[in-house]
Each structure stands twice: as structure tokens, then as C-alpha cells.
């Protein structure tokens, strides 16, 4: 397919984004603006020099910069501006539903209140619902390099805002921080009514995916790239329809795979896994939803049916009501039916 034709097709697909860290959507331009108004000095003297530092050999090298960038976020307005900028951007890419992660501990550990963080993020999400017609869910993610006790404190802080938060996740440094470390806090989170997801099998082994399913009882796996090495796991994912929220540009940038041509998403679709495509940390990895779809489709030579399946899978994997999912899925089908051959 011609690149411009493929881009046009992808642009027009109504899309759902289910794996997005709001702190990872922090574009350098906005980071400099917020740093200036908060009187915070950044390590880099220009946007160009900051962008040049975005060159990672692994997850940890990225996380080190990601946490530094987040330090300029202090006031509710900062969290609002961050979230609003992301929502405007994805609106321009025909994203109609988002399920957004935020990392409260990245901020509360610096003395920023949980209320400040969530008010800023939530108000932007509400505004996008009203003005951009984007529906949303909000997922609070525990940092796995910290202790389970710390996660429990975060759970406690979240309770006054429970009606705004749909689920909890698990992110940050995967190796050496297995899901089993968080069994109790996940169980407690479920008891408070939160849905459960976890990053697993991004850099970590298949075992971590099993643990996320069996011990944490998650309903969705974030990444899960490593599952194909384990036939029993593939069967489990397929039989239970467990979605994998994949992030192809992230995988290339963090050297989870060597090149996009090695991405497992097409094989996963072939095996009947509910695989979906998202952007993870778009400001750091060079692309939002359309760019993730495009680079993947180009490298793997995906056809229209595969693109349609990916878009449908994302709505299936979402936490929208059955009725709303069906509405979006029929819009995706209609869109592909109206495309010229
Ligand atoms: O890709 C990721 N993996 C783990 N933790 C993260 N926190 C932000 N992005 C990521
Ligand atoms: Zn992620």
C-alpha cells in the first residue's frame, strides 16, 4: 500500500487508546513552559538537547528520564495542561475513547498532593468528554520498584476519589519486581471495586504474565510481548480472551525488540489473541496512536482486515459497556466497508 494511502486509512479509523501513561505524553515544549512558570531548572538548555537525550537501551534508561521530566509538575493546572494537551492531540487522530494511566507515587513522593494530581487530570478528561466527545476511564498505577506497603498508602489516598478511578495497574521497573510482590494490594484494590491490570512480559519473562493472571487476577495484560514463547500461556490468553495492550514504538525504542519487523502483533492475531495497539509514552517514543499503527502496518505489511481487527480488539478490550462497545465496533466495520478497495 502507498504510504500516504495507508496513513489516510489509519487516520480515519475510530480508535481506542488503552495503554497510555499521562506522564509519558509530556512533550518537551510543554515541559519547558511549565518548568519556566514553576521556576524549575531543567538539565537541558533547549528542547532540541532534551529530545536528543531520548535514546534508550532499555526500560530503566527511559524511566530515569521520565521521572525527571515529571518533577516539573507541581500544581493542578500543570496536570490539567498535560492531560488536555494529550487529549487534543489524540482527538486530532480520531481517538474516541481513552483509558489513561497515572502514577500518583511519582508525584506524592515529591510532596505533591494526590488531590492536586487527580483533580488536574480528571478535569481535563471531563472537559474532553464534553467538548471533544472522547469517553474515558482512569487507571491508577502502582510503581513496582517501590514496596507493597507504599502501594497500600496510595490505595488509601485514592479512596476519596474512588468514583473517578476505574482500575489499578502496575508499572515501572519490571525485572526483579514480579507481580507476586503486589498480591495483597491488588486483592485489596479489587475489594474496593477497582478493575485490575498489570504490565507484564515487556522485559520480564513469561512467568510474570502467569503471575499477573494467577496471583493478581488481572483482566488485561499491558505489553505481554513475551507470551509467544509459551504455548500453554497463548492458549490461556486465547481461551479467556485476555487482552494484550501492545505498544510497538515503545518496544523498538526500549529495545524490547530489535526492529519493528520483529514485532509479535501479527503472530498474536494469527493465534487468536486479543492483541491491541497503543502508544505507552508517546512524547518519548516518537509517536501517538496513528504513528504506532502506521509503523507497525508498514513493517509487518498488515492488510485492512488486520487493521480492522486491531481497532475492533481495542474496543472489545476496553471497559466500556457492552452496548457502547458494540456501537464503536459497528462504526469501525462501517468505516472499513466504505473504503475503496
Ligand atoms: O513502558 C513502560 N513500562 C513500565 N513502566 C512504565 N511507566 C511508563 N511507561 C512504562
Ligand atoms: Zn506502559
Q: Compute the radius of gyration of the chain from its Cα atoms.
A: 19
263 is known to lie in a ligand binding site: no
The CA–CA distances, whole Å, from 186 to 99, 149, 285 equal 19, 12, 29
- The HSE-up count of residue 99 (CA atoms within 13 Å, CB side) is 24
What residue ranges define each of the domains in the chain, with the CATH number in brackets?
3-338 (3.20.20.140)
pLDDT exceeds cutoff 90 at 340 = no
The ipTM assigned to this model is 0.96
Q: Is 144 helix (H, G, I), strand (E, B) or coil?
A: coil
Q: What is the pLDDT of residue 211?
A: 98
Distance 320 CA to ligand 1 centre (A): 24
Cell numbers of 292, please? 504506532
Q: What is the pLDDT of residue 1?
A: 84
pLDDT exceeds cutoff 90 at 341 = no
Distance 158 CA to ligand 2 centre (A): 20
- Dump pLDDT digits (tens) for 64-119: 999 999 999 999 999 999 999 999 999 999 999 999 999 999 999 999 999 999 99
Q: How far apart are CA 199 and CA 82, in angstroms?
A: 23
Where would I find the beta strands (DSSP E) of the chain?
Answer: 15-21, 95-102, 135-143, 167-171, 195-200, 220-223, 244-246, 275-277
11 phi and psi angles, rounded to 5 deg: -55, -40
Q: How far apart are CA 167 and CA 14, in angstroms?
A: 24
171 is known to lie in a ligand binding site: no
Looking at every residue in the chain, the average pLDDT score rounds to: 97
- Dump pLDDT digits (tens) for 123-177: 999 999 999 999 999 999 999 999 999 999 999 999 999 999 999 999 999 999 9
281 lines ligand 1 (CB under 6 A): yes
- Dump pLDDT digits (tens) for 197-251: 999 999 999 999 999 999 999 999 999 999 999 999 999 999 999 999 999 999 9
Q: How many other CB atoms are there within 10 angstroms of residue 65's CB atom?
A: 16
Q: How many other CB atoms are there within 10 angstroms of residue 49's CB atom?
A: 12
- The DSSP result for 225-249, as a single string, is GGGGG-HHHHHHHHHTT--EEE-HH
Candidate list 202, 203, 211, 291, residue with the active-site label: 202
Cell numbers of 236, please? 490461556
- Dump pLDDT digits (tens) for 271-325: 999 999 999 999 999 999 999 999 999 999 999 999 999 999 999 999 999 999 9
Amino acid at each position: 500500500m502507498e504510504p500516504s494511502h495507508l496513513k489516510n486509512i489509519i487516520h480515519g479509523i475510530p480508535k481506542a487508546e488503552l495503554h497510555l501513561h499521562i506522564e509519558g505524553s509530556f512533550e518537551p515544549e510543554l515541559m519547558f513552559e511549565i518548568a519556566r512558570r514553576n521556576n524549575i531548572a531543567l538539565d537541558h538548555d533547549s528542547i532540541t538537547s532534551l529530545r536528543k537525550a531520548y535514546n534508550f537501551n532499555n526500560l530503566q534508561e527511559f524511566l530515569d528520564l521520565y521521572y525527571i521530566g515529571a518533577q516539573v509538575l507541581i500544581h493542578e493546572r500543570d496536570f490539567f495542561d498535560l492531560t488536555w494537551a494529550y487529549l487534543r492531540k489524540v482527538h486530532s487522530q480520531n481517538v474516541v475513547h481513552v483509558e489513561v494511566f497515572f502514577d500518583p507515587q511519582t508525584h506524592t513522593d515529591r510532596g505533591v498532593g494526590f488531590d492536586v494530581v487527580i483533580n488536574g487530570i480528571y478535569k481535563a478528561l471531563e472537559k474532553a468528554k464534553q467538548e471533544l466527545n472522547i469517553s474515558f476511564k482512569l487507571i491508577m498505577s502502582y510503581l513496582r520498584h517501590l514496596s507493597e506497603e507504599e502501594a497500600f498508602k496510595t490505595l488509601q489516598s485514592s479512596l476519596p476519589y474512588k468514583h473517578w478511578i476505574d482500575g489499578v495497574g502496575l508499572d515501572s521497573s519490571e525485572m526483579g519486581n514480579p507481580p507476586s510482590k503486589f498480591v495483597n494490594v491488588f486483592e485489596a484494590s479489587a475489594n474496593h471495586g477497582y478493575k485490575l491490570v498489570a504490565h507484564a512480559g515487556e522485559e520480564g519473562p513469561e512467568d510474570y504474565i502467569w503471575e499477573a493472571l494467577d496471583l493478581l487476577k488481572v483482566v488485561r495484560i499491558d505489553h505481554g510481548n513475551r507470551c509467544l514463547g509459551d504455548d500453554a500461556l497463548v492458549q490461556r490468553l486465547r481461551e479467556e480472551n485476555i487482552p494484550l495492550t501492545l505498544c510497538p514504538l515503545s518496544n523498538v525504542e526500549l529495545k524490547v525488540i530489535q526492529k519493528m519487523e520483529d514485532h509479535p502483533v501479527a503472530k498474536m492475531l494469527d493465534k487468536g489473541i486479543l492483541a491491541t495497539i497503543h502508544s505507552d509514552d508517546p512524547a518519548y517514543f516518537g509517536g501517538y496512536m496513528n504513528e504506532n499503527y502506521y509503523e507497525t502496518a508498514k513493517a509487518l505489511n498488515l492488510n485492512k482486515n488486520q487493521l480492522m481487527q486491531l481497532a475492533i480488539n481495542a474496543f472489545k478490550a476496553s471497559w466500556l459497556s457492552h452496548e457502547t462497545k458494540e456501537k464503536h465496533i459497528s462504526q469501525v466495520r462501517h468505516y472499513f466497508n466504505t473504503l475503496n478497495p
